[in-house]
Amino acid sequence: MIKRYSAICLILCICFSLDAQKKPRKKDIIPIENLLSIDAYTQAIGQLTILQRKYPDDGHLHLLKGICYLNIDYKTDAAIVSLEKAVDELGMYSERNDHAIEANYHLAQAYHLTNRFEDALQILSTLSDTVPKNRTNIHSQIDLYIGYCKNAIELTSQPVDFRITNLGQAINSEYDEHSPVISGNEDLLMFTSNRLKRSKKQKNTILPPEDIYTSSWREGSWLPSVTANSNLNTDRYDATCSLSSDGKTLIIYRNQGNGDLFISQMDKEWSEPKRLPKPINSPYEESHASLSLDGNTIVFTSDRPNGIGQKDMYLSKKLPDGTWGKAQLFPESVNTQLNEESPFLSYDGNTLFFASEGHSSMGGFDIFKSEKLENGQWSKAQNIGYPINTPGDDLFYIPTLDGQRVYFASERPGGYGRSDIYIIEYPVYDERSLAVVAGYLFTIDGLPSSDSEISIHYKESNAHIGTYKPQRNTGKYTMILPTGVVYQMTIKTPGKTTINRVIEIPYQENYRSKTGATFLDPMVIK
């Protein structure tokens, strides 16, 4: 699964052409670099602080301390202090070593993370003009962050209207919580966390592998989350990916080698997960997936070869014999040369939400959406906007059935620690305001009218919205329709009387409340 966001991209080799009389010795620096290589940033800061007492003006030591702070939660301001000192000592560029380039590059990263996009852009532009053009690896990193800053400036100038709420301590902890999945009626939430468990075998200094947790909505609040049953969790990495609308089918990720996708069914408790077959799983890593509402389409991510970039998204449809069809690679309007992650296929199957480091990201992973066009192609990915997206990593975007709320994971100030799970609520008059409309169709004998077909049109313009079929075993149909609109509903059944009915879906008065489907009266087909 995805590790927490690291602001550091060490693009340069550290050189040691140092004057032993005025600079720290190489043997003093190597232990600190070793600590950085194992992400022991707090310990490295301790050793750097001791060394700085002897060499208080050494730019390289300030650079290393800035790198450490950039990798510690909520220490970006401290990183800026150290990196600004490093830049003061090292300047912009030196042919003798690359410390000056590193210091400026990481300072630009720190400015970017604290929304100082113009300051970051100024440094990066100067670096781009100063660093020799034949150093292509450095320029590719500089160009990436220049793009991040320009995108961020544009997106922050047009913020999205929404309300965001942290789900609180019943769900979140000081550790990572991510990959939320939610049932259709929002009474079951499952997610992934690497929080410490109460076990004498575990050392508090080492985070355990990720496990799956669950919480239920009761009387207006979430119950304290608990670990899922032992069938879902192992002593390795287990993570949530997709939950069916009825809360009975769960796709999870397990790292048992390269990383594969598994499926589990709920029957009193979650069954032992079974590995999904080819062409979904492969000898490479498949890290996330999303099932369509009817369970016949799956979208997943994989780093298998012959893709467009590093990790790409694929789609597979279930064939009549129950097997999965050939994995279809999403086009360049969706996939990029960088990583794509955490896809979510909307309940009508026409909108794909996903996280990407490419496209018009304002930094790290941003959430994007692509619409399925009438010709079957997918539209160019669109950034869903700021402040949902931030300069850090934003992933795992899961809209509810009615589209008015979104569960997602993000690292942002004011959280409980690292990545937390939040809920986004859009205003009632927002274009995303949708309603879940359901009902039942029966024959005159009281059996499900499974042969019926429901057609929905706008009453005013007669434009066609969609065609729906009732479930074969229950006669229940489900439609997701924009609110504040009057519709013409036509029900046709072979050899039976056609039913015409006008339905109106009003705006909800309180978009903050979780609501179930709007049920129409059961209808008998004569």
> pLDDT per residue over 281-302, tens digit each?
999 999 999 998 888 899 999 9
CB 36: neighbour CB atoms within 10 A? 18
Domain-located, residue 8: no
CATH of the domain at 455: 2.60.40.1120
The token duo for 262 is 């598994």
C-alpha 261/C-alpha 377 separation (Å) is: 26
The residue from 112, 134, 156 where one domain ends is 156
Beta-bridge mates of residue 470:
none
The answer to whether residues 35 and 124 belong to one domain is yes
> Is the model more confident about 302 or about 496?
302
Question: What string of H, E and C letters represents the secondary structure of 299-313?
Answer: EEEECCCCCCCCCEE
The answer to whether residues 451 and 372 belong to one domain is no
Tokens 């013409």 correspond to 488
Phi/psi at 73 (nearest 5 deg)? Answer: -55, 130
The answer to whether residues 382 and 417 belong to one domain is yes
The answer to whether residues 393 and 288 belong to one domain is yes
Give the single-character DSSP code of 417: S
The count of structural domains within the chain is 3
Which value, to the nearest 10 degrees, does the dihedral of the CA atoms of residues 272, 277, 283, 288 take? -70
The answer to whether residues 458 and 442 belong to one domain is yes
C-alpha 342/C-alpha 344 separation (Å) is: 7
Q: Residue 68: CB partners within 8 Å, gap ≥ 6?
A: 36, 41, 42, 44, 45, 48, 79
Lowest mean pLDDT among 22-36, 80-94, 460-474: 460-474
Beta-bridge mates of residue 193:
177, 211
Domain of residue 463 covers 434-525
Question: 223 pLDDT band (50/70/90 cuts)?
Answer: very high
Helix count and strand count (H, E) for the chain: 7, 30
For the chain, the distance separating the N- and C-terminal CA atoms, rounded to the nearest angstrom, is 53
The answer to whether residues 63 and 106 belong to one domain is yes
> Is the model more confident about 520 or about 406?
406
The token duo for 134 is 């034949």
Residue 225 has pLDDT above 60, yes or no: yes
The answer to whether residues 31 and 150 belong to one domain is yes
Determine the residue type at 34.
N
DSSP for 253-266, please give it.
EE-SSS-EEEEEEE
C-alpha 385/C-alpha 387 separation (Å) is: 6
Determine the residue type at 286.
E
Residue 387: asked if its preceding bond is cis (omega within 30°), the reply is: yes
Which residue in 155, 129, 119, 158 sits closest to 359, CA to CA? 155
Going from the C-alpha of 167 to that of each of 162, 310, 354, the distances in angstroms are: 16, 32, 21
The residue from 392, 425, 458 where one domain ends is 425
The answer to whether residues 399 and 442 belong to one domain is no
The token duo for 228 is 């899922």
C-alpha 520/C-alpha 506 separation (Å) is: 14
Q: What is the largest distance, in Å, between two alpha-carbon atoms of the chain?
A: 98
The answer to whether residues 407 and 461 belong to one domain is no
Give the single-character DSSP code of 34: H
Domain-located, residue 301: yes
The answer to whether residues 218 and 349 belong to one domain is yes
The token duo for 173 is 């902890």
Q: What is the pLDDT of residue 133?
A: 87
CB 96: neighbour CB atoms within 10 A? 9
The answer to whether residues 421 and 450 belong to one domain is no
The answer to whether residues 461 and 517 belong to one domain is yes
Summary mean pLDDT of the chain: 84
**Residue 356 · residue 339 · CB < 8 Å:** yes
pLDDT in tens, 244-294: 888 889 999 998 778 999 999 988 899 999 999 999 999 999 999 999 888
Domain-located, residue 338: yes
The residue from 398, 425, 452 where one domain ends is 425
CATH of the domain at 38: 1.25.40.10
Question: 368 pLDDT band (50/70/90 cuts)?
Answer: very high
- Helices 99-113 and 76-90 cross at an angle (nearest 10°) of 150
Q: Residue 312: CB partners within 8 Å, gap ≥ 6?
A: 301, 302, 303, 329, 330, 335, 340
Domain-located, residue 499: yes
CATH of the domain at 228: 2.120.10.30
CB 37: neighbour CB atoms within 10 A? 10
What pTM was estimated for this model as a whole? 0.76
Domain-located, residue 20: no
